[in-house]
Amino acid sequence: MRYKGIRDAIATLAVAALGSAQVVIAVQTERAGAIAPVDGFSRSGLAAIHDLMEDAVREGKIPSAIAMLARDGEIVWSATAGEMGPGYPMRDDAIMPLASVGKMYTATAAMLLLERGAIALDDLVSKSIPEFSQIRVAVSDDGGEARLVPPQTGITVRHLLTHTGGLQVTGDDFWAVWDSHSGQTTTTEFARALAALPLISQPGTAYLYGPTGASYEVLGAVIEIASGTTLERFMEENIFKPLGLKDSHFYLPAGKEDRMPAFYRRVDQKLQLERAHGVDFPRSTFFHGGGGVEASAMDIARFTEIFLTGGVAGGVRLLQQASVEQMMSDQLGDLARRGRSWGFGSAVRFEAGDAGGKTLVQYGWVGGGYARLWVDPVDRFVAYFAFPVEPPGHNGLLFQFEKLVEAAKSTPGPP
């Protein structure tokens, strides 16, 4: 079952800024610690990133890892460590499940439908899924006794994109719905079942992500109903194929088994095999809008180019610039936490700008505690790091990687 054990993961909005870099002409790939200089990043800084990866493998924290930096849709530096499986070194074209990082793709799919007029941000979800017209909100009176009241407003597509619909996203009732549908029924059936649970806040009044970001599962169902096809097929026809993403999927296709590394789970501080090299999640008709996409580093570099160019990747316009700007803007306003906010599909981070304004310095997210992807629109770089350890993964390593990218960018190194 996809996301097995994720209820133990801790979702976080912690993000860090990536700084300036020069144009890099050639792709540089690190092997066995031999690092070619990349303009704008110090050789010692890149070595430190690879050391982090190899040390984590050697210490038994992770079995393998892949990291990359990209610009203009192309990888400019990458590194691997560990093994895909016994005797098979980690590949730089490994296909990795992205978990919640995949929300970027689901939000992109929603924006495509918005541009085509198939949905609108303020459409009620009940327009697509009638069960949501019957929702109630759980509140407590002064005596602490719970009761159900009608919502002040219905849940909208905008609420789903921003995790502000008030949906239950954790707890026994939520997990009962999750466990009975994930990998077993369909995206839409899950959404209908979730609609039967009371909301835990009035729509539009609180940011509620939870361990899985389940609002995006409901968003996936809305996309399926509005498009008349599955979320998998919609992304294949409208995102993957147009951008030439040949290694982006919901489930690994036949013939690519050797591209999927073995996945492990940490049990009593030791790695325990969860899925062998070449084994993906069992295929089902449930396509996770909250994190079902799997992709190679090269495909990730190409896809994320749209966030640096206003919607264009590889010369193909996927989204209008206004749509991309909306995805990368502060969509939470007063609901944002500690200076960090959520756009559409990922968290956004801003720094103080001129004349009291603010500048977007990062658009990105974490997935399952084992994947980290962010876009730096100021310095036009993308950074990606992943390792095959099931949720809750190892968030500490993800954040260490981010700090080392910052250090490699800002610390002068050998020519």
Identify the three-state secondary structure at position 2: coil
Spatial separation of the C-alpha atoms in residues 395 and 407, rounded to whole Å: 19
Q: Which pLDDT score, from 0 to 100, does residue 238 have? A: 98
Q: Which pLDDT score, from 0 to 100, does residue 76 have? A: 85
Evaluate if pTM is beyond 0.75: yes
Residue 30 β-bridge partners: 79
Question: Apex CA 174: angle with CA 172 and CA 180, to 5°?
Answer: 100
Q: Which pLDDT score, from 0 to 100, does residue 142 have? A: 73
Question: Apex CA 305: angle with CA 303 and CA 307, to 5°?
Answer: 100
The amino acid sitting at 129 is I
Q: Which pLDDT score, from 0 to 100, does residue 40 have? A: 72
Q: Which pLDDT score, from 0 to 100, does residue 191 have? A: 97
* Helix H or strand E segment including 301: helix 297-304
Residues 6+ apart with CB under 8 A from 169: 163, 208, 209, 210, 211, 212, 213, 214, 215
- DSSP string of 123-142? -BGGGT-GGGGG--EEEE-T
Count CB atoms within 10 A of the CB of residue 198: 17
How do the pLDDT tens digits run along the chain, 415 residues long? 565 555 444 333 333 222 222 222 233 344 434 444 576 788 899 999 999 999 999 999 999 999 999 988 989 899 999 999 999 999 999 999 999 999 999 999 999 999 999 999 999 999 999 999 999 999 987 777 889 999 999 999 999 999 999 999 999 999 999 999 999 999 999 999 999 999 999 999 999 999 999 999 999 999 999 999 999 999 999 999 999 999 999 999 999 999 999 999 999 989 999 999 999 999 999 999 999 999 999 999 999 999 999 999 999 999 999 999 999 999 999 998 776 899 999 999 998 876 667 899 999 999 999 999 999 998 889 999 999 999 999 999 999 999 999 998 865 554 4
Q: Is residue 342 a contact partner of residue 332, using CB atoms and an 8 Å limit?
A: yes
Q: Which pLDDT score, from 0 to 100, does residue 357 have? A: 77
Q: Which pLDDT score, from 0 to 100, does residue 412 have? A: 54
**Which pair of tokens denotes residue 305?**
């180019």
Domain 6-94+296-410 has CATH 2.60.40: no
Among residues 6, 219, 209, 263, which one has the least CA distance to residue 105?
A: 219
Q: Which pLDDT score, from 0 to 100, does residue 41 have? A: 81
Residue owning tokens 């909301």: 199
Q: Is residue 370 a contact partner of residue 264, using CB atoms and an 8 Å limit?
A: no
Domain ranges of the chain: 6-94+296-410
Count CB atoms within 10 A of the CB of residue 210: 19
Q: Is residue 408 a contact partner of residue 42, using CB atoms and an 8 Å limit?
A: yes
Q: Is residue 293 a contact partner of residue 345, using CB atoms and an 8 Å limit?
A: no
**Which pair of tokens denotes residue 18?**
């990536």
Q: Is residue 342 a contact partner of residue 207, using CB atoms and an 8 Å limit?
A: yes
